[in-house]
Every structure is written in structure tokens, then in C-alpha cells.
Amino acid sequence: MNVGVNGGASFVIPFLAVFMAVIGIFATGHEYRHGTIQPTLTALPQRSRLILAKILTVTALTAVATLASMAINASVMLAFWGEVPGLFDDPVRSALLGYLVYNVIYAQVGLGLGLLFRGVPSALVVIFLMPLIIETLIVGLTMVPALEWLAPIVKFLPFTAGSELMLTSAADFGPAAPGFDFFGRWASGGVFAVCAALVIVTAWTLFKKRDA
């Protein structure tokens, strides 16, 4: 049923989540890259209102794109198999909602990083480096007997925890998840959301204090 959730993507991160995170980075980072932040603040000097508008815009755009992608995925399944089994039943129904939440949070992390670094390149490096290299490395290190003590940390890794939102098998949660004792779907999503909130709040605070 992964086809119905994210198009059957086997990549560590769904393509749409990455794409929307890049959009989030551009929403803030491009302002500094092209020097448009000063005229933007001249037109709208209330900095908090500006950031809130960007957050709401990226959230809405991500939600629409995700819902459209799920509709396309369901249509493809219907065309090939003549039905979409279990689409409105758990755990697939929850995984679909989780996929929507995951993409929105991922996009907000991108937006926050673009604002925090006041540019695009550094934000892009972090948005890829964290889930694909750093967190994957930590998970891999837990397989080394001498480093098994790292296993309890895995469930607090934001991007790894966030991926639990999209799981279509209830057996993958909690104690049934081998070695890592993940939280449930929504609690794991909460870990990811807290990370996004910390990035945005930090970037927002600095944005209000720093010169444009």
C-alpha cells in the first residue's frame, strides 16, 4: 500500500517532501540570495507578520500538493487494479494523514533553515545531510555491539521519528519495532514537529533581532 501513500517511493525520503522542503527554503532563503529582503521589509515592516504569512503559504501549498499527489496515486491504483483496497481503513488511512503531516513539517523545517542561515546553500546541505547521512549513520552505529547504547536515541532523531508517520503496518510501532522501541505514529510525528518548531522559533527570533 506504499503506492497509495507516497507513490511507492523506495527512497529514504519521499520526493514530494524533499521538493516542498526546497520550496520552503526558497520562500525565505531566496530573499537574502537575491537581495529582495530589504524591499520586502520596506513594504511590510512587521517582521512577525511576514514570517507568519510565509509559514501559512508554504503550509497551504504543501497540503494542496500532497492531497493532489495522493489523489493521483489512488487513481493510478484504481486504473491498474480496479480498486484501492484498504484506503479508508487503518493503518492505511492513518498513514495517508501521516504522509500529509510529514510533508507539511518537512517543508516548515526547510523554511526555518532558509531563514536561519539567511540563504539557500547551507539550508539545502542541512536538509539533506541530517536525514541521509547523520541520522542514517547513527542508526547504523547501533548495529555495532559496542555502540548498542545508542539505540534508545534513535526514536528521538527528528527525521527518523517523522518517517514513522507514514508507516502502513501497525507492527512497526513501539516495542514491535526491532531494537529501537519507537513511539507510536503521532508521538513520533510530535518529535519531528518539535524539531521543526525549534528551528522556526530560533530563526524567527534571530530574524526580529538581526539587521536585514
To which H or E segment does residue 137 belong? helix 135-141
pLDDT over 90 for what percent of the chain?
56
Q: Count up the domains in the chain and report the number.
A: 1
Q: What is the pLDDT of residue 3?
A: 47
Q: What is the pLDDT of residue 65?
A: 96
pLDDT over 70 for what percent of the chain?
85
pLDDT (tens digit, 9 = 90+) per residue, 186-210?
A: 999 999 999 999 999 999 999 998 8
To the nearest 10°, report the CA torsion of 31, 202, 124, 137.
Answer: 180
pLDDT at 178 over 60: no
Which residue would you say has higher pLDDT here, 82 or 200? 200
Confidence of residue 175 (pLDDT cuts 50, 70, 90): very low
Q: What is the pLDDT of residue 135?
A: 93
pLDDT at 85 over 70: no
Residue 155 to residues 14, 94, 101, 137, 176, Cα–Cα distance (Å): 19, 19, 18, 14, 13
Q: What is the pLDDT of residue 86?
A: 63
Q: Backbone phi, then psi, for 36, in 5-degree steps?
A: -90, 0
pLDDT (tens digit, 9 = 90+) per residue, 2-46?
A: 444 554 444 468 899 999 999 999 999 998 888 888 888 888 889
The residue-averaged pLDDT of 142-159 equals 90
Q: What is the pLDDT of residue 180?
A: 74
Q: What is the pLDDT of residue 108?
A: 98
Q: What is the pLDDT of residue 210?
A: 82
pTM: 0.87
What's the N-to-C CA distance of the chain in angstroms? 47
State CA 135 to chain mean position distance.
Answer: 14
Q: What is the pLDDT of residue 168?
A: 78
The residue-averaged pLDDT of 66-81 equals 84
41: which residues sit within 8 A by CB, 6+ positions away? 47, 50, 212
pLDDT (tens digit, 9 = 90+) per residue, 127-140?
A: 999 999 999 999 88
Tell me the torsion sign for CA atoms 4, 8, 12, 14.
negative
Domain range enclosing 59: 2-209
